Amino acid sequence: MKISIITVCLNSVATIKDAVESVLSQTYPDIEYIIVDGGSTDGTLDIINSYRGRIHHVVSEPDRGIYDAMNKGIRLASGDVIGILNSDDVYEDRKVISDVVEKFCNYDVDIVLGDVVQVDRYDFSKIRRYYSSKKFRRWKLRFGWMPPHPATFITASAYKKAGTYSLDYKIASDYEMFIRLMLVHRFAFARVPRVLVRMRIGGVSTNGLTCLWIMNTEIVKACRQNDIYTNLFFVLLKAPFKLFELLKKPRS
């Protein structure tokens, strides 16, 4: 089974090396690595080029945002399964892809989920939130709940049926993709019961109240565009549970 990993970036000089090395250090032998850069000007490309012999595709050109960049990577990918690792994130250890492949081989599924820990931007050892896929159920999407996208792996055939990421959303295109995958096409999924990705706090979807409001209104829009009933009240019901997650003691 060939696995394609896509990293999208723009002016990520402070973090791109960690992301690249976490992919290149994986023990699984059949990985195609694709980096899609939005035209960085801060030295990001210098770091990427230092690994050029081990990266299968590098694209650097202006784009229409992160989801457009993801779509470019998906179109380039030739693997059976596709994973997306953001330039701020790293895989938890060297066996992540091997464990994901084992799950695909043992279960007839098109999606494999794992867990994410959100960590301090400058210290990976400081865990701020444990984002688990353990309690995810399809019906929860109507209430704005989704599994952690950075720890989600999807077959190329599922992307072919469901389509690529919509450019109609600023923040919630990954959520809209889960709506199509889980509720419209109802692809089967399985879970690797452990942390797969360490994710730095400070990404677009976690950056302030304005972004949270945009995300929640886009969640309602995504459901309605796919004929899934929800409303803003339903989506906001998750707020107390999110707050509890942030206040409770993180796992080590």
Q: Are 22 and 33 in contact (CB under 8 A)?
A: no
Q: What is the CATH architecture of 3-247?
A: Alpha-Beta Complex (3.90)
pLDDT digit string (tens) for 212-221?
888 889 999 9
- The CA distance from 211 to 234, in Å, is 18
> 128-165, pLDDT tens digit by residue?
999 999 999 999 999 889 999 999 999 999 999 999 99
Can you give the pLDDT at residue 86?
96
In the chain, where the domains are located = 3-247
Give the pair of three-digit tokens for residue 201: 């706090």
Cα-flanking dihedrals φ and ψ of residue 143, to 5°?
-105, 15
Report how far residue 21's alpha carbon sits from residue 38's, in angstroms, rounded to the nearest whole number: 20
Average pLDDT over residues 202-213: 66
Q: What is the pLDDT of residue 251?
A: 53
Report the pLDDT value the prediction gives residue 92, as an integer from 0 to 100.
Answer: 97
pLDDT tens readout for residues 177-202: 999 999 999 999 999 999 999 999 87
DSSP state of 134: T
pTM for this prediction:
0.90
- Alpha carbons 68 and 5: distance in angstroms, whole number: 16
Predicted local distance difference test score (pLDDT) of residue 252: 45
Q: Which two tokens mark 39?
A: 């035209």
DSSP secondary structure, 175-204, as one string: HHHHIIIIIIS---EEEEEEEEEEEES--G
Residue 175 has pLDDT above 70, yes or no: yes
- CA–CA separation, 220 vs 139, rounded Å? 14
pLDDT at 172: 94
| CA 42 to chain CA centroid, nearest Å | 24
